[in-house]
Amino acid sequence: MAFRKKASLLLAHKPDIVIIPECENPHKLKFDDGVPTPNDIFWFGNNQNKGLGVLSYSNYKFQLNETHNPDYRIVLPLIATNKKFSFTLFAIWANNPQDKGFEYVGQIWKALNFYDGLLKNKKTI
């Protein structure tokens, strides 16, 4: 939690894309002076204080792939696109306490089976 307080440590490595579980909603994401702000943010969650944040510190933009199945709560197939390249990025925070017996790792197992065809694409991370 509180990514805004830790962002400078991660951003020192100059990432293109970061995936942050337990990330606050972008409206609450206020960075300290001197900490770069992302060029694009995709955020997913019910709790405004901790959802899954996908942040672009490059020229990638994100949108949710139409194949997203909300049964696999926070296993998000995103389309990451810039002017030259597009790929599918799976952003995962395996956390679904409502799916008894499959709350965490089970979410990934189910999603791997559901998204099998998408995962076979060579442009998938």
For the chain, domains (ranges, CATH) are 3-119 (3.60.10.10)
| Tens-digit pLDDT profile for residues 43-53 | 999 888 889 99
| Tens-digit pLDDT profile for residues 58-84 | 999 999 999 999 888 789 999 999 999
- pLDDT for 117 equals 92
Q: Where are the beta strands (DSSP E) in 48-121?
A: 50-56, 61-64, 75-81, 86-92
> Do residues 86 and 69 make contact, with C-beta atoms less than 8 angstroms apart?
no
- pLDDT for 94 equals 81
- pLDDT for 4 equals 66
| Tens-digit pLDDT profile for residues 9-41 | 888 899 999 999 999 998 888 877 888 889 999
